[in-house]
Amino acid sequence: MKGKTMLSSFSGHKTNIFIFKALILCALLILSNKSPVLARVDPKIEKSERIISFSGFEWQVKSSHNSKSGALGPGNNYFSDSKKNVWVDDNGWLHLKITRCNDKWYCAEVILLQPLVYKRYIFQVTGRIDQFHPNVVGGLFTYLDGTDESEEIDIEFSKWGDKKKMSNTQYAIQPSEIQGNKNSFKLELTGDATTHIIDWKPGKVDFISYHGPNTSAPDSAMIINKWSYTGKNVPVNPNGKIHINIWLFKRDLIDTADHPEAELIIRSFQAF
């Protein structure tokens, strides 16, 4: 009887009915948004619903399946969220791989779900990234999702389609075509382990690459290259997220008989 009395009181007062309906609507909205992970995904960037865990962080796997052309940047490539292209192995290492399926090359990318603001980002990489096909690009970078602004810090392993090019790695602040915004060098390995660091601070970005898997600075003899940037294009928006990818530069010009298959393996990622 008390429930019926309460409902009748609502029916007699329009204001209370409005409040009651509003409360119901709010409850429905909360229930409909069960996944806080998906809610953090930037709707302006084409991504799949696949999320992986790697190095204690959650990463969104990129897919171009729903794009109008079937391809996305960088390089107007096809990106797949298949486990053949992106997976974490039993060691906890992240694998990103370019594969061929149905006469198309499929690339791979993952995006950290949350921005980590100004930090020192450490990537331990396994594999002969110095021997990539000239059109393959492996990228470790920060990017402000959903914008066309030049809010990007890059470490990229590539010869950019030129097999005669001596340099195969670059540190860059976008727009990289501006003089002084890029540092290119030759990465020549004797083993298959390297460490690459982006140290992003307000007004400054420090880069350094080492031989071997390192979490702290090793002997100076292990340094491959280092560079500091203090120019006007240091990203200022702390919402830039870490991306890791492997893709094809000028894929339309790659000979159909060529084999640009490649794999980028990240042993670990740290940020502090």
What pLDDT does 99 receive? 97
- What number is the average pLDDT over the span 222-233? 97
| Residue-wise pLDDT tens digits, 185-195 | 999 998 999 99
What pLDDT does 79 receive? 98
What pLDDT does 124 receive? 98
What pLDDT does 257 receive? 87
- Reply yes or no on whether the pLDDT at 106 is more than 90: yes
- What number is the average pLDDT over the span 152-168? 97
The pLDDT confidence band at residue 1, using thresholds 50, 70 and 90, is very low
| Average predicted confidence (pLDDT) for the chain | 85
Q: Give a three-class secondary structure readout of the chain.
A: CHHHHHHHHHHCCHHHHHHHHHHHHHHHHHHHCCCHHHHCCCCCCCEEEEEEEECCEEEEEECCCCCCCCCECCCCEEECCCCCCEEECCCCCEEEEEEEECCEEEEEEEEECCCCCCCEEEEEEECCHHHCCCCEEEEEEEECCCCCCCCEEEEEECCCCCCCCCCCEEEEECCCCCCCCEEEECCCCCCCEEEEEEEEECCEEEEEEEECCCCCCCCHHHEEEEEEECCCCCCCCCCCEEEEEEEECCHHHCCCCCCCCEEEEEEEEEEC
- Reply yes or no on whether the pLDDT at 42 is more than 50: no
What pLDDT does 215 receive? 78
- Reply yes or no on whether the pLDDT at 5 is more than 90: no
